[in-house]
Amino acid sequence: MGRRNRRRNRRRNHRKNKKYELSNEFLKKLTAYIEKENLSKTEKTDPKSEISEMSYQFQMIKI
């Protein structure tokens, strides 16, 4: 448990936190989108573009 490990872990944790921030943003957008879908069940707007955007962001999180 030297100084070197502490430094390396700090970097590693920063990267992990960054990833979680991204996924939290994605979840917010997803919930907003689902709520909007539930509201606009009667009038169908084209949801395909938004879904593709969501899946693209989700892929970014996985990387």
Question: What are the tens digits of pLDDT across the range 37-53?
Answer: 777 655 555 555 566 66
**Verdict on whether the full-model pTM lies above 0.85:** no
Q: What pLDDT is attached to residue 37?
A: 75
In contact, 15 and 40? CB cutoff 8 Å: no
HEC letters along 1-56: CCHHHHHHHHHHHHHHHHHHHHHHHHHHHHHHHHHHHHHCCCCCCCCHHHHHHHHH
Structural domain boundaries, residue 14: 3-62
Q: What rounded mean pLDDT belongs to the chain?
A: 69
Residue 28: CA count within 13 A, CB half-sphere: 6
pLDDT of residue 54: 63
pLDDT digits (tens, 9 = 90+) for 16-39: 767 666 677 788 888 888 887 777
**Structural domains in the chain (count):** 1
